[in-house]
Homo-oligomer: A and B are copies of this chain.
Amino acid sequence: MTNPAPEPAARTDRGPAPDVLGVAVLGYSFMGKAHSNAWRNVNAFYPVPRVAQRVLVGRDAGHVAAAARRYGWEESSTDWRSVLERPDVDVVDICTPGHLHADMAVAALEAGKHVLVEKPLANTVAEAERMAAAAAAARARGVHAMVGFNYRRVPALALARTMIADGRVGEVRQVRASYLQDWLADEHAPMTWRLRRETAGSGALGDLASHAVDQVRFLLGSPVTSVSGTTDTFVRTREGPDGTERVTVDDAAWATLRTDSGAVVSLEVSRCATGRKNALELEVYGSRGGLRFDLERLNELQLFDTTAPGDAQGYSRILVTEDSHPYAGAWWPPGHTLGWDHTFTSQAADFLHAIDTGVPAAPDFADGLAVQRVLHAVTDSAARDGAAVRL
């Protein structure tokens, strides 16, 4: 069905899936809206089991009811625990803030629900470990768990991964991974919970570097083995409702990673990169070719192929909308571009496909935990003045 094919894995059956899979989404703001959109549309584009949008869950009864109506849900609820008891709910999709992920995901898995968790998997390594253990236990019972690194479903990035796996850039030596935004460049941007360590865990590191690190793992298929890094907070205090407050998370982070395969990866993330709105940039340099990508132009992949005729070598801008490209064939004819939100729909399709076939979908909670450990190593290394930390 969807491309690229999930890695082969032990299939564990728990009997036939029901005709319709009932879905519940926990959380209804930005990510809840994006995930609702995915569930509303997935059957129109992918030949996966039919879904029913059973219930949208949130804390404010009025707001969640309005959102549920807008986004196509049958019902709304303010009690996520009771939702786990519903027999007509098969899939629980967690879009709440990071510090709530662990409890919700573990409970849902234990209740036998398939669980999709928005990235990052958790705010801490300890939470992520608990979740990964619960997922491993659940898998033995035929229950699936996935973490929502949606950019794995950008056709251009899925194509990049396929090309790398097929050896079309040769041995990968050097990777540049950056994710640059600018919404905190203005020093008058107000204080929010996202800028406090106790609620957000970290700043650009958890929010942006998690995506970048997942992409490095996805593209290269090789674990990160050492990390040297540093972080900084450019705007140290901001105005909030209660006056001036100290910002306790990072505005930006930098790291150099080494992978088991011998590649060196530079990593840079920022919320203060003025003029860069949503620039997840990836560059991969191999012995036979190179690849470049920018999320602000997500329909494009650039490929340099050293086996092309000598006078014609250059980075080719591939418009990744052909039927032969991953995911693209499910949507529109060649040349008709996708947007940011389509990645969530394709992600939902891959998860449904896993549930349907029993072949687990990536990235699973172990992947999410691995990312978490890299992020933690950046903090560790920063505390040691940049000295490398082995993983």
Contacts and interface: CB of A to CB of B under 8 A. Distances in A.
Interface of A: 30, 33-34, 36-37, 40-41, 43-44, 70-72, 159, 163, 168-169, 173-174, 176, 178, 181-183, 185-187, 228, 230, 232, 234, 252, 254, 256, 264, 266, 268, 270, 272-278, 283, 285-290, 296-306, 308, 310-319, 321-322, 324-325, 331-342, 381, 384-388
Given A228-B385, A337-B298, A290 B275 contact: yes
The complex is assembled from copies of this chain, and their number is 4
B303 A314 contact: yes
Given A273-B174, A290-B275, A285 B185 contact: yes
A312 B283 CA distance: 16
A174 B270 contact: yes
B311 A176 contact: no
A318 B324 contact: no
A244 to B, nearest CB: 18
Contacts of A302: 314
Nearest to A267: B266
Nearest to A338: B339
Contacts of A339: 299, 336-339, 341-342
Given A318-B312, A385-B228, A273 B297 contact: no
A169 to B, nearest CB: 7
5 contacts: A174-B234, A266-B268, A275-B315, A278-B336, A310-B322
A316 B312 contact: yes
B297 A275 contact: no
Given A318-B311, A324-B311, A306 B185 contact: yes
A252 B174 contact: yes
Nearest to A306: B274
Contacts of A34: 332
A322 B277 CA distance: 10
A185 B335 contact: no
A318 B322 contact: no
A290 B276 contact: yes
Contacts of A278: 321, 334-337
Given A290-B274, A321-B277, A41 B43 contact: no
Given A36-B44, A273-B285, A314 B306 contact: no
A304 B285 CA distance: 22
A317 B318 contact: no
Contacts of A386: 228, 256, 381, 386-388
Given A44-B36, A70-B44, A313 B318 contact: yes
Contacts of A186: 287, 306
Contacts of A182: 285, 290
B285 A270 contact: yes
| 10 cross-chain pairs, A with B, having the tightest CB-CB distances, nearest first | A275-B304, A278-B335, A277-B335, A339-B339, A228-B386, A314-B318, A314-B316, A274-B290, A275-B290, A338-B339
A266 B254 contact: yes
Contacts of A40: 40-41, 44
Most chain B C-beta atoms within 10 Å of own C-beta, residue among A275, A314, A341 = A275
A195 B342 CA distance: 33
Given A254-B256, A306-B185, A340 B340 contact: no
A317 B319 contact: no
Given A264-B254, A287-B185, A312-B316, A174 B272 contact: yes
A136 B289 CA distance: 48
